[in-house]
């Protein structure tokens, strides 16, 4: 019997000076970037967690701990490629992705097509199987106060 499973991922990182802002593998010009052990790409981290969760394979912190110095400043596109391999070892394939970035600033719409292309390329998916959206929280909460950026993702996998 073929198995279809769904997973949800969520990630958040604090905005800090002195770091590049990387979302979906795209460097976005901004006065602050996301703080983290890797490139802190919240969008790709949420997608990784959703894919791993759908396969009941824990989360990216389990597979790629921030105590591993070999992962310092690693591109999250590399982590996404590794997650793809991890779930494929269990005979799962990613069907499609729907993700939302939550950020007050910067305006992300111009960068979303490149994010989609990056994600689809790494996962070997057609672009129309990857959806990325961006929204604000109308000035509310930590994202509205421009203290951080968050992302949610849902990933459908099949065997």
Band of residue 2 on the pLDDT scale cut at 50, 70, 90: confident
Domain annotation for the chain: domains and CATH numbers: 4-137+149-158 (3.30.1330.50)
Does the pTM surpass 0.75? The reply is: yes
Q: How many CA atoms lie within 13 A of 115 on its CB side?
A: 27
DSSP β-ladder status, 33-34 and 21-23? unpaired
Instruction: Using CB atoms within 10 Å of the CB of residue 107, give its burial: 0 to 12 exposed, 13 to 18 middle, 19+ buried.
Output: exposed
Residue 72's contacts (CB-CB under 8 Å, 6 or more residues apart) are 37, 38
The token duo for 52 is 């791993």
pLDDT at 37: 93
Residue 62: phi, psi to the nearest 5?
-70, -45
pLDDT at 95: 97
pLDDT at 71: 87
Mean pLDDT of the chain: 96
Percentage of residues in the chain with pLDDT exceeding 70? 99
pLDDT digits (tens, 9 = 90+) for 51-101: 999 999 999 999 999 899 888 989 999 999 999 999 999 999 999 999 999
pLDDT exceeds cutoff 90 at 25: yes
Q: Tell me the mean pLDDT in the region 128-150.
A: 94
């Amino acid at each position: 019997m073929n198995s279809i499973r769904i997973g949800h991922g969520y990630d958040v990182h604090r905005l800090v000076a002195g770091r590049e802002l990387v979302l979906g593998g795209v460097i976005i010009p901004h006065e602050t970037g996301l703080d983290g052990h890797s490139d802190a790409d919240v969008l790709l981290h949420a997608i990784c967690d959703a894919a791993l969760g759908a396969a009941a394979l824990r989360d990216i912190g389990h597979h790629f701990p921030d105590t591993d110095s070999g992962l310092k400043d690693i591109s999250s596109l590399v982590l996404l490629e590794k997650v793809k391999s991890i779930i494929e070892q269990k005979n799962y394939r990613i069907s499609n992705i729907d993700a939302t970035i939550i950020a007050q600033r910067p305006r992300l719409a111009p960068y979303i097509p490149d994010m989609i292309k990056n994600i689809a390329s790494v996962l070997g998916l057609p672009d129309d199987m990857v959806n990325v959206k961006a929204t604000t929280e109308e000035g509310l909460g930590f994202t509205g106060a421009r203290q951080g950026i968050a992302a949610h993702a849902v990933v459908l996998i099949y065997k």
